[in-house]
Homo-oligomer: A and B are copies of this chain.
Protein backbone atom coordinates (compact mmCIF):
# COMPACT_ATOMS: atom_id res chain seq x y z
CA UNK A 1 0.00 0.00 0.00
CA UNK A 2 1.27 3.49 -0.79
CA UNK A 3 0.05 6.88 0.34
CA UNK A 4 0.26 10.48 -0.84
CA UNK A 5 1.18 13.24 1.54
CA UNK A 6 -2.45 14.29 1.63
CA UNK A 7 -3.69 10.87 2.55
CA UNK A 8 -1.25 10.68 5.46
CA UNK A 9 -2.12 14.23 6.38
CA UNK A 10 -5.79 13.32 6.74
CA UNK A 11 -5.05 9.99 8.38
CA UNK A 12 -3.04 11.59 11.19
CA UNK A 13 -4.64 15.03 11.34
CA UNK A 14 -1.25 16.58 10.66
CA UNK A 15 -0.72 19.29 8.02
CA UNK A 16 1.41 18.27 5.03
CA UNK A 17 3.98 20.84 6.09
CA UNK A 18 4.44 18.94 9.34
CA UNK A 19 5.06 15.68 7.47
CA UNK A 20 7.70 17.41 5.35
CA UNK A 21 9.16 18.90 8.51
CA UNK A 22 9.36 15.48 10.18
CA UNK A 23 11.19 14.18 7.15
CA UNK A 24 13.57 17.13 7.20
CA UNK A 25 14.55 16.56 10.82
CA UNK A 26 15.01 12.84 10.16
CA UNK A 27 11.99 11.57 12.04
CA UNK A 28 10.51 10.06 8.87
CA UNK A 29 13.05 8.29 6.69
CA UNK A 30 13.26 6.72 3.24
CA UNK A 31 10.33 8.61 1.81
CA UNK A 32 10.23 8.06 -1.94
CA UNK A 33 10.43 11.23 -4.01
CA UNK A 34 8.94 10.31 -7.38
CA UNK A 35 10.49 12.33 -10.23
CA UNK A 36 11.36 14.96 -7.67
CA UNK A 37 7.71 15.69 -8.04
CA UNK A 38 5.78 14.19 -5.15
CA UNK A 39 6.29 12.00 -2.11
CA UNK A 40 5.12 8.43 -1.79
CA UNK A 41 4.79 6.93 1.68
CA UNK A 42 4.32 3.27 2.61
CA UNK A 43 3.17 1.15 5.55
CA UNK A 44 6.43 1.66 7.40
CA UNK A 45 5.68 5.38 7.53
CA UNK A 46 2.18 4.74 8.83
CA UNK A 47 3.62 2.52 11.55
CA UNK A 48 6.23 5.06 12.47
CA UNK A 49 3.74 7.91 12.57
CA UNK A 50 1.58 5.87 14.91
CA UNK A 51 4.51 5.60 17.31
CA UNK A 52 5.44 9.23 16.90
CA UNK A 53 1.93 10.35 17.79
CA UNK A 54 1.96 8.03 20.70
CA UNK A 55 5.23 9.33 22.07
CA UNK A 56 4.17 12.90 21.47
CA UNK A 57 1.13 12.28 23.64
CA UNK A 58 3.48 11.02 26.31
CA UNK A 59 5.27 14.40 25.97
CA UNK A 60 8.53 13.01 24.57
CA UNK A 61 10.33 15.71 22.57
CA UNK A 62 10.90 15.02 18.87
CA UNK A 63 14.67 14.73 19.15
CA UNK A 64 14.31 11.98 21.72
CA UNK A 65 11.74 10.20 19.58
CA UNK A 66 14.27 10.40 16.76
CA UNK A 67 17.05 9.10 19.01
CA UNK A 68 14.78 6.23 19.92
CA UNK A 69 14.28 5.20 16.30
CA UNK A 70 18.02 5.47 15.73
CA UNK A 71 18.76 3.14 18.63
CA UNK A 72 16.05 0.74 17.49
CA UNK A 73 17.90 0.16 14.22
CA UNK A 74 20.48 -1.76 16.18
CA UNK A 75 18.48 -3.06 19.07
CA UNK A 76 20.71 -6.03 19.88
CA UNK A 77 23.44 -3.52 20.67
CA UNK A 78 21.23 -0.82 22.17
CA UNK A 79 18.43 -2.61 23.99
CA UNK A 80 19.72 -1.50 27.38
CA UNK A 81 19.76 2.14 26.32
CA UNK A 82 16.32 1.72 24.78
CA UNK A 83 14.89 0.14 27.93
CA UNK A 84 16.41 2.95 29.94
CA UNK A 85 14.83 5.63 27.77
CA UNK A 86 11.47 3.91 27.83
CA UNK A 87 11.45 3.53 31.61
CA UNK A 88 12.53 7.12 32.18
CA UNK A 89 9.75 8.23 29.89
CA UNK A 90 7.27 5.98 31.68
CA UNK A 91 8.08 7.69 34.98
CA UNK A 92 7.80 11.15 33.45
CA UNK A 93 4.45 10.29 31.98
CA UNK A 94 3.17 9.02 35.30
CA UNK A 95 4.40 12.23 36.98
CA UNK A 96 2.64 14.35 34.38
CA UNK A 97 -0.55 12.40 34.87
CA UNK A 98 -0.42 13.02 38.61
CA UNK A 99 0.08 16.75 38.01
CA UNK A 100 -2.84 16.77 35.61
CA UNK A 101 -5.01 15.04 38.17
CA UNK A 102 -4.11 17.59 40.82
CA UNK A 103 -4.85 20.37 38.36
CA UNK A 104 -8.15 18.78 37.45
CA UNK A 105 -9.16 18.57 41.10
CA UNK A 106 -8.53 22.28 41.55
CA UNK A 107 -10.43 23.08 38.38
CA UNK A 108 -13.40 21.10 39.61
CA UNK A 109 -13.28 22.82 42.97
CA UNK A 110 -13.43 26.18 41.19
CA UNK A 111 -16.30 24.89 39.06
CA UNK A 112 -18.26 23.97 42.19
CA UNK A 113 -17.56 27.39 43.67
CA UNK A 114 -18.73 29.29 40.59
CA UNK A 115 -21.81 27.08 40.37
CA UNK A 116 -22.68 28.35 43.84
CA UNK A 117 -21.99 31.91 42.70
CA UNK A 118 -24.34 31.28 39.79
CA UNK A 119 -27.13 30.12 42.11
CA UNK A 120 -26.54 32.96 44.55
CA UNK A 121 -26.78 35.58 41.84
CA UNK A 122 -29.95 34.03 40.41
CA UNK A 123 -31.61 33.82 43.87
CA UNK A 124 -30.38 37.21 44.93
CA UNK A 125 -28.82 35.53 47.93
CA UNK A 126 -25.39 36.41 49.39
CA UNK A 127 -22.31 35.23 47.53
CA UNK A 128 -20.77 31.99 48.81
CA UNK A 129 -17.40 31.96 50.48
CA UNK A 130 -14.59 29.71 49.35
CA UNK A 131 -15.09 27.71 52.57
CA UNK A 132 -18.65 26.72 51.66
CA UNK A 133 -17.32 23.94 49.43
Interface size on A, residues (CB 8 A): 38
**Residue interface bits A101-113, CB-to-B below 8 A is 1, else 0:** 1111011101100
In the complex, what residues of B have CB within 8 A of residue A55's CB? 103, 106-107
A/B interface sample: 28 pairs, CB < 8 A: A51-B106, A54-B107, A55-B103, A55-B107, A56-B103, A57-B99, A57-B100, A58-B100, A58-B103, A58-B104, A58-B107, A75-B127, A76-B121, A79-B114, A79-B118, A79-B121, A80-B118, A83-B114, A83-B118, A86-B107, A86-B110, A90-B104, A90-B108, A93-B100, A93-B104, A93-B107, A97-B104, A100-B100
Give this chain's copy count. 2
